[in-house]
Amino acid sequence: MLVAMTTAARHAVIYCRISRDHTGAGLGVDRQREACEKLAAALGLIVLRVFVDNDLSAYSGMPRPQYLAMLELLRRREASYLITWHPDRLCRHPRELEDLIDVLEQTATTVKTCVAGDYDLGSPDGRTYARILGAMARGESEHKADRQKLKTQSIATAGGWPGGTRPFGYDPQSGAQVPAEADAVRSGARMIIEGQSVMAVMRAWNDLGLTTTFGNRWARSPVRTTLMRPDLCALRIYNGDEYPLTWITEPILDRDTWEKVRALLTNPQTSVPHARTRLLHGFLYCSGCGGVMSSTVANEKAAYGCKADDHGRQCPRRVSIQAPQCDDFVRDEVIAKIVRSPEVTAKTPDSETAEIKAQISAVKRDLEQLQNDRDSGHYETARYYKRYDLLQGQLAALGERLTASQAYPVLDDLPRDPIALRVLWDAATVDWQRAVIASSVARIVILPAVPGRRFDNGRISLTPR
Ligand SMILES: [Zn+2]
* CA–CA distance, 76 with 460 (Å, rounded to integer): 75
The radius of gyration computed from the CA coordinates of the chain, to the nearest angstrom, equals: 31
Distance from the alpha carbon of residue 300 to the mean position of ligand 1, in angstroms: 20
Q: What's the confidence (pLDDT) of residue 226? A: 93
Q: What's the confidence (pLDDT) of residue 178? A: 93
DSSP secondary structure string for all residues of 94-136: HHHHHHHHHHHHHHTPEEEETTTEE---SSHHHHHHHHHHHHH
pTM over 0.75: no
Q: What's the confidence (pLDDT) of residue 1? A: 40
Distance from the alpha carbon of residue 309 to the mean position of ligand 1, in angstroms: 8
Distance from the alpha carbon of residue 313 to the mean position of ligand 1, in angstroms: 9
Instruction: Tell me which residues have their CB within 5 A of the ion that is ligand 1.
Output: 286, 288-289, 291, 306, 308, 315
Distance from the alpha carbon of residue 447 to the mean position of ligand 1, in angstroms: 10
* CA–CA distance, 68 with 354 (Å, rounded to integer): 44
Distance from the alpha carbon of residue 271 to the mean position of ligand 1, in angstroms: 20
Distance from the alpha carbon of residue 285 to the mean position of ligand 1, in angstroms: 8
Cα angle 35, 39, 40 (rounded to 5 degrees) comes to 115
Distance from the alpha carbon of residue 454 to the mean position of ligand 1, in angstroms: 20
Q: What's the confidence (pLDDT) of residue 12? A: 94
Distance from the alpha carbon of residue 312 to the mean position of ligand 1, in angstroms: 11
Distance from the alpha carbon of residue 394 to the mean position of ligand 1, in angstroms: 21
Q: What's the confidence (pLDDT) of residue 332? A: 93
Residue count of the chain, please give it.
Answer: 465
Distance from the alpha carbon of residue 396 to the mean position of ligand 1, in angstroms: 21
Distance from the alpha carbon of residue 196 to the mean position of ligand 1, in angstroms: 29
Q: What's the confidence (pLDDT) of residue 327? A: 93
Domains and CATH numbers, the chain: 2-142 (3.40.50.1390), 170-265 (3.90.1750.20), 275-464 (no CATH)
Question: What residues contact 45, with CB distance under 8 A and at least 6 apart?
Answer: 10, 11, 12, 81, 83
Q: Among 205, 203, 364, 189, which residue's Cα sits nearest to residue 259?
A: 189
pLDDT one digit per residue (tens) for the chain, 465 residues? 444 445 678 899 999 887 654 444 445 677 788 888 888 988 889 999 999 887 655 445 667 788 889 999 999 999 999 998 877 778 777 777 888 888 888 888 888 888 766 777 767 777 777 777 666 655 655 555 555 555 544 544 444 565 557 889 998 888 889 999 999 999 999 888 877 788 889 989 999 999 988 888 888 888 988 999 888 988 877 655 677 777 788 899 998 889 888 878 876 444 444 434 478 887 898 998 888 888 777 777 788 888 776 555 678 888 999 988 999 999 999 998 888 765 544 455 566 677 778 888 888 888 888 888 877 777 777 777 777 777 877 777 777 667 666 545 456 667 778 888 888 888 777 777 887 887 788 889 999 988 777 888 999 999 887
